Structure 1
Amino acid sequence: MKLLDLLNGVNYEVLNGNLDIDVSHIQYDSRKIGEGDIFVCLTGFEVDGHNYATKAIEAGAKVILCEKDINITNEDITVVLVREGRKALATMSANYYGHPAEKLKLIGVTGTNGKTTTVYLLKSMLEKAGKKVGLVGTIANYIGDLKVKSERTTPESLELQKLFKDMVDANCEYCVMEVSSHSLYLDRVYGCEFEVGIFTNLTRDHLDFHKSFENYYNAKFKLFERSKACVINIDDDYGYRIVRDIESIGNKEVKTYSIKDESDFKASEVMLKEGDIHFKVNGDNYNSVLPGEYNVYNALGAIGAMNLLDIDNEFVKKGLLDVVVPGRCERIGYKYDIPYDIIIDFAHTPDGLKNILETLKDYTKNRLIAVYGCGGDRDKVKRSELGRIGTELADLAVITSDNPREEDPMAIIKEILSGISKSNYIAIENRAEAIKLALNMAEEGDVVVLAGKGHENYQITNEGVIHFDEREVVDEILADKRKK
């Protein structure tokens, strides 16, 4: 592709060389450079791409795009200066792949909790309506039925545009996607226009990155600046603020949803049962296989979006009844000949843990046992909150390790314990041993919830990424028990 065409829409200055050249591919990782590529120097939080420009040239790069002068005078190398490298990367990626996002109807979901479940609900509803759907999310990416590995909740703009291109080539009409606060702040979705943006909630998370709730909120709000229509949970305090801030922009259709406050899509007569939920919205009956009040909220967000997109309510209802979300209130106990239940859930924030424990407590016949920890190298304040919430809601909390990263696992556990005022807990660093203890203690009618890992099949430690799948751990523990 001609460099001039690639730079269309980018504000730039040429520091060296000329623009009348062909570019093979775009790269922001110097290790992936091939002959004739453009290397985009991104200034990261740990690594500065400008330090790898020489390495990229040695590997065959013919164009360097930078945010500061890197003093390259080789006449065979073109050096282009931009003010915001990530926005330039997003614009060039869209140019390179032929603006695929413009050929898809994008539905974005942002919020602290509920993003994953909501996009799976959206995909299910749209597919019931006969639409071919792509999905971008935490657990995996999908191009129709084809599952593609996900490295992060929202990919970097280069990979995201490639994913959009693959969806278009596969004749997808819609793309439903989790839009993380990181991706909004780091301009991974810069230039993308969404048909509908959905807000789930805003609770404590990622403050290690954003530093303040105000920054966190401002990052989330970017989605609604880029959405034609918005669906907002106004039972969340930040939901009202989003509605007010959207109104100040103007020229957007806004729908609200709730269980408590008056809204466009208000759930009433909510009945929480062991395996599902029943509720009404504007006089119409709905039933979802996903249990818990928080899943009523997830359903409402999806219902509101489908209404804006004129998807028939028949397909919305069918989608609610036929959806599986891996690692989200995933029941695995039924597979074993045991008198208690085992649930795997991704809950790793105070609000997420509260939601899953309150939901499970409603139908636990005997004791609720919670196994959980807290990630390392992340916001430390929530650790004590997790300790308090787990011991207040569960009959027994087994505090353990969960992606400690570079931190000492026991130091993290001690910070979790600092929020506990009760005595109904046990602390065990080794997560497999913690699960084993919980299962050995489980009695008839108990529910054991393994919280924090969800779909993850790994632990991140100071030794790197180690394979750890809780389903396999449970299989092994129960197989050993049967042998005895």
Structure 2
Amino acid sequence: MKKLLMDILIKVNILKIIGYSKKWIEGISIHSKMVKKNIIFIANQGINTDGHLFIIEAIQNGANIIVCEKKPSLIQKSITYVLVKDSIEALGTISSNFYDNPTKKIKLVGITGTNGKTSIATILHYLFYKMGEKNILISTMGIKIMSKKITTLHTTPNIIEINKYLNISIQKGCKYAFMEVSSHGIHQKRITGLLFTGGIFTNITHDHLDYHKSFDNYLSTKRFFFENFLHKNTFALINVDDKNSHKIIKNVLAKIYFYGIKKKADFKIKILKENINGNELIMDKNKFFIGLIGKFNIYNLLASYATAILLGKKKYEILKKIKTIKPIKGRFEQFISYSGIRIIVDYAHNPNGLKTVLNTIKKIKKKEEKLICVIGCGGNRDKKKRSLMGKIVYDLCDRSIFTSDNPREEDPKKILIDMKKFRSYLKKKDILTIVNRKEAIKKAIQLAKKKDIIVLAGKGHENYQEIKGIRYPFNDMKIAKTLLKNYNR
């Protein structure tokens, strides 16, 4: 792909252009080491690093156009400098322009909230694919165009990759895109330039307060998405049962629809029966069984159904396919060993998500079935939630094993100490602390008896464990299956 510089600067808030402007570009980068000839380098002010410090390196690697907020002290005649008010916003607009403004040609639905984003996006991708509608999924689990998974440079795709793969998906005939929208992405302006057909609000609870500093700031960020990215010809689908839903919709121009189980809503569902294998439901007068466990999953299912309706699909068509949905990898993913031990792997990594998963199991398990939980908390993340999560596991489980999650740059032993800092820990029950996550899972398997339930919480689908900047191969379900086999369990 090749574009003229001035064509990709349309709608960019430019302060000044220094140098020759009639240049061709063949790509965009925010990483100085990945720049080569005819690649435009955009110097972003990040959380940990400032791209302006790498302008010289980018030029040395071949960049001849630099987009920046601050004029470099050394101006080179052969280089074009585009001074902008906000380089992060410019990145979004430039990326969209370079890839032919893909969101003008595809129906993009953004899903935001503390929990449920990945599940809803994945269910929608599956539903539309099964209904014969070509679509793209953009989530923390990666990018998927129809059935093909795309390998990206980052766990969470950046705005350049998002526009690139949206453009590719359109060329392959996709008409719909389903994308997770994180609070970090909203706050850091990483979705600038994208046009949304609709937005879904799942819920909001304690999470990411290390970044947002307060719950009000976190809530305001979510609200910003609905107020600034959804116009009057779009839809906002809101979980009416969330206690903060009324705050989200204060100044929303989009057409508002509600979904829920408890309160009056445009889209409702009733749970007739639930057990460890799934739920019997009634929705739009249709009774059916689905192999998704827990009320939280039923909210995700309902939001997906409602979105499909709002995007113009027929009820009977959706219901026919919705019955075939299977559990999502790393989201209440189950395995039963030949000796009858049940393993449940879930991504629950915040207090509400963890409490919801454990309460769901307690509600549907038999009295004699013991609940064992292996849990850790991420390093260099919200420290306030550590003791909250520790207390939840201690209060709700028969056995608690505290271990490492992704300790990152922190000492995992200190994280475990933080997890035990709650008042109700009176040593009525033991808490096992095992730093090595594999050893912790092994201990849980050794403690378990037939029909006991082991929950491996926090990492879900992840295939790595991050320690001191290195990502080591690690997957909870794979480790558990291997250990069960090795110990003939």
TM-score (ref. length: structure 1) = 0.95
1:435 is aligned to: 441
Matches within 5 A, 1:123-272: 123-149=125-151, 154-225=156-227, 226-227=229-230, 228-246=234-252, 250=253, 252-272=254-274
The question of whether the paired residues in 1 share the 8 Å contact of 2:142 and 2:157 is answered with: no
1:387 equivalent among 386, 390, 401 = 390
Matches within 5 A, 1:377-456: 377-419=380-422, 420-421=424-425, 422-456=428-462
Q: Structure 1: which amino acid aligns with 2:416?
A: I
Q: Secondary structure at the match of 2:203?
A: coil
Q: Structure 2: which amino acid aligns with 1:86?
A: I
1:467 is aligned to: 473
1:364 CA displacement: 2.3
Residues 32-91 of structure 1, C-alpha deviation per residue, up to 9 Å, x if partnerless?
Answer: 111122110000111110001111111111111101111232221111111111111111
Q: Secondary structure at the match of 1:237?
A: coil
Q: Structure 1: which amino acid aligns with 2:137?
A: L
RMSD over aligned Cα, in angstroms?
1.7
Q: Structure 1: which amino acid aligns with 2:341?
A: Y
Residues 294-351 of structure 1, C-alpha deviation per residue, up to 9 Å, x if partnerless?
Answer: 1111112112212211211223223332234110011122xx3122211111111111
The answer to whether structure 1 residue 3 and structure 2 residue 5 are counterparts is yes
1:85 equivalent among 79, 84, 87 = 87
> Which is worse superposed, 237-246 or 351-360?
237-246
Separation in structure 2 between the aligned mates of residue 406 and residue 434 of structure 1, nearest angstrom = 21
1:116 CA displacement: 0.8
Q: Secondary structure at the match of 1:310?
A: coil
Q: Secondary structure at the match of 2:211?
A: helix
Runs of 4+ that moved beyond 6 A:
none
1:351 is aligned to: 352
2:295 is aligned to: 293
Q: Structure 2: which amino acid aligns with 1:313?
A: K
Q: Secondary structure at the match of 2:456?
A: strand
Residues 146-168 of structure 1, C-alpha deviation per residue, up to 9 Å, x if partnerless?
Answer: 01135656421111100101111
The question of whether the paired residues in 2 share the 8 Å contact of 1:138 and 1:150 is answered with: no
Residues 415-468 of structure 1, C-alpha deviation per residue, up to 9 Å, x if partnerless?
Answer: 111125252421111111110111011112211111111100111111511111
Q: Structure 1: which amino acid aligns with 2:402?
A: I
Separation in structure 2 between the aligned mates of residue 5 and residue 35 of structure 1, nearest angstrom = 19
> Which is worse superposed, 132-141 or 271-280?
271-280
Structure 1's unaligned 5+ residue stretches are: none
Separation in structure 2 between the aligned mates of residue 326 and residue 150 of structure 1, nearest angstrom = 19
Separation in structure 2 between the aligned mates of residue 310 and residue 21 of structure 1, nearest angstrom = 43
Residues 393-436 of structure 1, C-alpha deviation per residue, up to 9 Å, x if partnerless?
Answer: 11111111100111111111111111252524211111111101
Residues 255-314 of structure 1, C-alpha deviation per residue, up to 9 Å, x if partnerless?
Answer: 111222222123334422221112334544354321101111111211221221121122
The question of whether the paired residues in 2 share the 8 Å contact of 1:341 and 1:448 is answered with: yes
The question of whether the paired residues in 2 share the 8 Å contact of 1:124 and 1:322 is answered with: no
Q: Structure 2: which amino acid aligns with 1:357?
A: L
2:375 equivalent among 372, 377, 381 = 372
Q: Secondary structure at the match of 2:109?
A: strand
Residues 95-138 of structure 1, C-alpha deviation per residue, up to 9 Å, x if partnerless?
Answer: 11111121111111100101111111111221232201110001
Q: Secondary structure at the match of 2:66?
A: strand
Separation in structure 2 between the aligned mates of residue 24 and residue 253 of structure 1, nearest angstrom = 39
1:326 is aligned to: 329
TM-score (ref. length: structure 2) = 0.94
Q: Cα 1:340–1:363, aligned 2, differ >3 Å: closer, same or farther? A: farther
The answer to whether structure 1 residue 482 and structure 2 residue 488 are counterparts is yes
Separation in structure 1 between the aligned mates of residue 262 and residue 300 of structure 2, nearest angstrom = 15
1:55 is aligned to: 57
Q: Structure 2: which amino acid aligns with 1:201?
A: N
Q: Structure 2: which amino acid aligns with 1:337?
A: Y
Structure 2's unaligned 5+ residue stretches are: none
Q: Cα 1:150–1:424, aligned 2, differ >3 Å: closer, same or farther? A: farther
The question of whether the paired residues in 2 share the 8 Å contact of 1:286 and 1:317 is answered with: no
2:342 is aligned to: 341
Matches within 5 A, 1:63-102: 63-102=65-104
